[in-house]
């Protein structure tokens, strides 16, 4: 595997050198564009339940509600000319009134060279979003969102796209030794990804293939262990006339090593991964004002999943890890808006899996106003030792109105009628009924643009 990664790395840098020459030649005759834009996103939330209650907060789980306002501000600088583009996005995210003043970071900082024949090289911190964003996405609902430090090479043209990405993560605190990696913007130590997509010319059919090799570290700083896990699968989209058909299938394999929490005793023996997921979605739009859709998601879970009291969920040792991990996707747009699943994880990665059967629709009476509603029936895929599979029913409703071309206001409400299993797995209120309401304002003005 190490020799393969070295060979891949050399091939990637060779591709960069091949791209640089034609790109720089194109710059001499290029027009130049510079833009400065800003965006502000504020969301107030009222929660009665929603998201798991941690064991340390179990004594407070019967509080009636929690209220807070989160906010994100971005400033984007973009420079472009023929064959070259560079972008920097500064971001601040936080909660109104917090003592730490939130988090300020450079969300994106990249440069891209592009040749006339469709080849390109893009290096730096950047968003990654592919297909329906189930596996790799920007995760824009979260105020901090998701970006990656990667080298990306690719080709786009003739109804085909091929991208290759390479990442290596490190923390500056680990200069001495420099091997153990934890607590970074993305959890992996190394990541190599290849994505291929093609569209048929005369048929509204598109298909993608995805391969990922992810190096994850476990153990402790004194005795770090790096093991590699692979994800392979595909996404299919077919859009004839008023219809939409989407399907995806992915498998995970490789090895997993448990992370060490505080001073607890744990094993660094690698656990084989054998997990999979499948999804299907059907949509129909009788007119531009209406759309209905239905679908089903199945994500495999660990066998003989234990549900003891006291917050020890998932601590049972398995000979194989069968719980599918949705890796770096935009999790909020799947599995119910209350984000009980695949946003907050179970301990040490063990999971009972998930079944998500849903139906919903969108009504757009005009260009400014839209309404969306969906229903989810949720259940585990694994047989639980002392609980049933059904988790509950969730209803999500949203309304959105464009105040101006650059501003929009959105209102949402979600309700979950959970089962006893939901209470045990996620430490929810013993009343099982969970409510969540939110109001969001987004403003994205185009501040300044010039060409020369």
Distance of CA 275 to the CA centre of its chain: 18
Please report the pLDDT score of residue 265 as a whole number.
54
Question: pLDDT of 109-163, one tens digit each?
Answer: 999 999 999 999 999 999 999 999 999 999 999 999 999 999 999 999 999 999 9
- The rounded distance, in Å, linking the Cα atoms of 86 and 80 is 6
Domain that holds residue 39: 2-172+179-451
- The rounded distance, in Å, linking the Cα atoms of 336 and 334 is 6
Check pLDDT > 90 for residue 61: no
Please report the pLDDT score of residue 221 as a whole number.
72
* Domain at 47, CATH number: 2.40.160.100
- Residue 177 burial class via C-beta count within 10 angstroms: exposed 0-12, middle 13-18, buried 19 and up: exposed
Check pLDDT > 90 for residue 396: yes
Which DSSP category does 260 fall into?
A: P
Backbone angles phi, psi at 329, to 5 degrees: -90, 175
Question: pLDDT of 235-270, one tens digit each?
Answer: 999 999 999 999 999 999 999 876 654 455 555 678
Structure tokens at 304: 């003989």
Phi-psi region of 158 (alpha: psi -120 to 50; beta: other; left: phi over 0): left
Backbone angles phi, psi at 254, to 5 degrees: 110, -150
Check pLDDT > 80 for residue 344: no
Q: Are 371 and 413 in contact (CB under 8 A)?
A: no
Check pLDDT > 50 for residue 20: no
Under the banding of pLDDT at 50, 70 and 90, the label for residue 174 is low
Region 46-64 average pLDDT: 56
Region 190-215 average pLDDT: 96
Under the banding of pLDDT at 50, 70 and 90, the label for residue 306 is low
The number of folded domains in the chain is 1
Helix, strand, coil shares, percent, the chain, to 5: 10, 50, 40
Backbone angles phi, psi at 447, to 5 degrees: -80, -45
Please report the pLDDT score of residue 309 as a whole number.
53
Of the chain, the percentage scoring pLDDT greater than 90 comes to 61
Region 286-314 average pLDDT: 80
Q: Are 95 and 48 in contact (CB under 8 A)?
A: no
Please report the pLDDT score of residue 199 as a whole number.
96
Supply the mean pLDDT for the chain.
85
Please report the pLDDT score of residue 342 as a whole number.
81
């Amino acid at each position: 595997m190490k020799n393969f990664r070295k060979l891949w790395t050399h091939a990637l840098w060779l591709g960069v050198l091949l791209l640089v020459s034609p790109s720089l030649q194109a710059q001499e005759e290029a027009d130049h564009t510079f833009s400065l834009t800003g965006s502000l996103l504020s969301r107030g939330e009222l929660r009665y339940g929603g998201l798991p209650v941690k064991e340390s907060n179990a004594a407070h789980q019967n509080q009636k509600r929690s209220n807070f306002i989160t906010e994100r501000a971005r400033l984007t600088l973009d420079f472009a000319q023929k064959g070259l583009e560079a972008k920097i996005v500064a971001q601040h995210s936080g909660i109104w009134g917090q003592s730490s003043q939130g988090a300020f970071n450079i969300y994106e900082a990249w440069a891209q060279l592009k040749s006339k024949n469709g080849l390109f090289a893009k290096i730096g911190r950047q968003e990654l979003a592919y297909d329906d964003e189930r596996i790799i996405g920007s995760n824009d609902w979260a105020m901090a969102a998701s970006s990656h430090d990667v080298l990306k090479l690719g080709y786009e043209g003739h109804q085909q796209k091929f991208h290759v990405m390479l990442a290596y993560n490190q923390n500056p605190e680990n200069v001495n030794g420099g091997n153990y990696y934890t607590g970074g913007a993305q959890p992996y130590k190394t990541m190599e990804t290849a994505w291929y997509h093609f569209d048929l010319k005369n048929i509204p059919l598109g298909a993608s293939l995805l391969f990922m090799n992810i190096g994850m570290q476990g153990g402790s700083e004194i005795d770090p262990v790096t093991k590699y896990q692979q994800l392979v699968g595909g996404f299919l989209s077919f859009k004839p006339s008023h219809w939409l058909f989407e399907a995806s299938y992915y498998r995970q394999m490789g090895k997993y090593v448990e992370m060490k929490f505080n001073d607890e005793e744990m094993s660094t023996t690698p656990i084989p991964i054998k997990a999979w997921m499948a999804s299907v979605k059907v949509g129909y739009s009788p007119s531009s004002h209406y759309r209905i859709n239905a679908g089903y998601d199945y994500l495999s879970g660990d066998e003989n999943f234990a549900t003891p009291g006291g917050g020890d969920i998932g601590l049972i040792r398995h000979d194989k890890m069968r719980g599918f991990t949705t890796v770096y996707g935009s999790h909020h747009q799947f599995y119910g808006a209350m984000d009980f699943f695949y946003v907050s994880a179970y301990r040490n990665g063990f999971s009972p899996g998930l079944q998500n059967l849903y139906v919903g629709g969108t009504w757009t009476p005009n260009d400014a106003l839209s309404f969306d509603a969906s229903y989810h029936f949720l259940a585990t895929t694994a047989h639980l030792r002392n609980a049933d599979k059904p988790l509950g029913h969730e209803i999500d409703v949203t309304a959105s109105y464009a105040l101006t071309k650059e501003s929009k206001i959105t209102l949402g409400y979600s309700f979950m009628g959970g089962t006893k299993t939901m209470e045990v797995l996620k430490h929810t209120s013993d009343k099982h009924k969970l409510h969540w309401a939110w109001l969001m304002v987004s403003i994205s003005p185009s501040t300044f643009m010039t060409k020369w």
